[in-house]
């Protein structure tokens, strides 16, 4: 019996060297290396695209392919920048306009995050909350914010409260709806597993629902900030004494296209920085997103 067992064991062994399977650590290292190479290539392409656009802009304006009234030269934008910094354009410097815009949009954004995320989570886990908030949000969400700007001014006056409230309403809807969608996308198996292990409803929301909904919540924050920026510029054009939108509006009245382009660049730069911060938060809070 021993000889038969030994012969069977030898017959089952491979006759040649068998390559070792790729380890999980090796696979992760290779995936990480590919990801780093992809990010580096994307950065290079972004730099090339920006430099090419600036070069085309410089050629088109200096060779007079486009009239300065429609598109000023980059050098003119630089001169307008220093004029705005010195306060030679209007009654306020560029930094005053910038700080007022930041105060308005980020105050409204903070209120929208503090209220919108809990409301969205409640809508996702409770039928009562969904029945209360969903019709209201879906009713006013398609409305352009400027449609109810006069109502905000009548209710809250022409001061900062009306503009912050307008921005809050514009940002609140995408934040709340994204949080609700994130909660609805959480796997029911994970929730039932947590409940079967003795977790309370609050613990399920904190440790299962909220982490699972975080990718959609972050997307909603990015969308909400974009909506807030567009609403901010329009609100400052109508009722404001200072702000980037007001600076652009005043410049357009005097056909100062260079100042208009300067305001557009400033607004786009802030939006780009916010987008980079949100991407960093996404990598820090949901590192598993997009990975197999």
Q: Which residue has the tokens 């796997």?
A: 187
Domains of the chain, by residue range, sit at: 75-285
Question: What is the per-residue pLDDT for 11?
Answer: 44
CB 255 within 8 A of CB 199: no
The CATH T-level fold of domain 75-285 is MetI-like fold (1.10.3720)
Report the distance separating Cα 98 and Cα 161, nearest Å: 18
Question: What is the per-residue pLDDT for 111?
Answer: 94
Question: What is the per-residue pLDDT for 171?
Answer: 92
List Cα–Cα distances, 249 to 149, 151, 158, in angstroms: 17, 22, 17
Selection from 31-40, 108-117, 134-143 with the highest mean pLDDT: 108-117
- Average of per-residue pLDDT across 37-52: 75
Enter the pTM of the model.
0.75
Assign 289 a pLDDT band (cuts: 50, 70, 90): low
- pLDDT tens for residues 89-123? 777 888 988 999 899 999 999 999 999 999 998 88
Residues 6 or more apart in contact with residue 214 via CB below 8 angstroms? 182, 285, 286
In this predicted structure, the answer to whether residue 189 has a pLDDT above a threshold of 50 is yes
8 vs 163 pLDDT, higher one = 163
Question: What is the per-residue pLDDT for 172?
Answer: 93
- pLDDT tens for residues 201-210? 778 878 888 8
**Mean of per-residue pLDDT scores for the chain:** 80
CB 267 within 8 A of CB 244: yes
Burial class (CB in 10 A: 0-12, 13-18, 19+), 245: buried
In this predicted structure, the answer to whether residue 8 has a pLDDT above a threshold of 60 is no
Selection from 17-21, 49-53, 288-292 with the highest mean pLDDT: 49-53
Question: What is the per-residue pLDDT for 272?
Answer: 87
Assign 178 a pLDDT band (cuts: 50, 70, 90): very high
């Amino acid at each position: 019996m021993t000889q038969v067992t030994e012969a069977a064991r030898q017959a089952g062994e491979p006759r040649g060297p068998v390559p070792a399977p790729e380890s999980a650590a090796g696979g992760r290292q290779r995936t990480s290396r590919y990801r780093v190479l992809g990010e580096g290539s994307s950065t290079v392409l972004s730099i090339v695209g920006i430099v090419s656009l600036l070069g085309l802009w410089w050629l088109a304006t200096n060779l007079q392919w486009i009239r300065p009234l429609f598109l000023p030269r980059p050098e003119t934008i630089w001169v307008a920048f220093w004029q705005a910094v010195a306060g030679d354009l209007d009654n306020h410097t560029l930094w005053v306009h910038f700080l007022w815009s930041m105060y308005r949009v980020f105050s409204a954004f903070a209120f929208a995050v503090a209220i919108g995320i809990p409301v969205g989570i409640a809508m996702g886990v409770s039928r009562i909350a969904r029945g209360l908030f969903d019709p209201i949000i879906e009713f006013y969400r398609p409305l352009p914010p400027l449609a109810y700007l006069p109502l905000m001014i009548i209710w809250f006056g022409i001061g900062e409260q009306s503009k912050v409230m307008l921005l809050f309403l514009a940002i609140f809807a995408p934040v709340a709806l994204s949080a609700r969608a994130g909660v609805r996308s959480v796997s029911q198996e994970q929730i039932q597993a947590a409940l079967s292990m003795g977790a309370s409803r609050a613990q399920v929301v904190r440790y299962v629902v909220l982490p699972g909904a975080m990718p959609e919540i972050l997307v909603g924050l990015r969308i909400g900030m974009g909506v807030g920026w567009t609403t901010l510029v329009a609100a400052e054009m109508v009722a404001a004494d200072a702000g980037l939108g007001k600076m652009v509006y005043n410049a357009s009245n005097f056909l100062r296209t260079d100042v208009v382009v300067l305001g557009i660049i400033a607004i786009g730069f802030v939006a780009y920085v916010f987008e980079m911060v949100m991407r960093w938060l996404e990598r820090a809070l949901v590192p598993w997103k997009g990975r197999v």
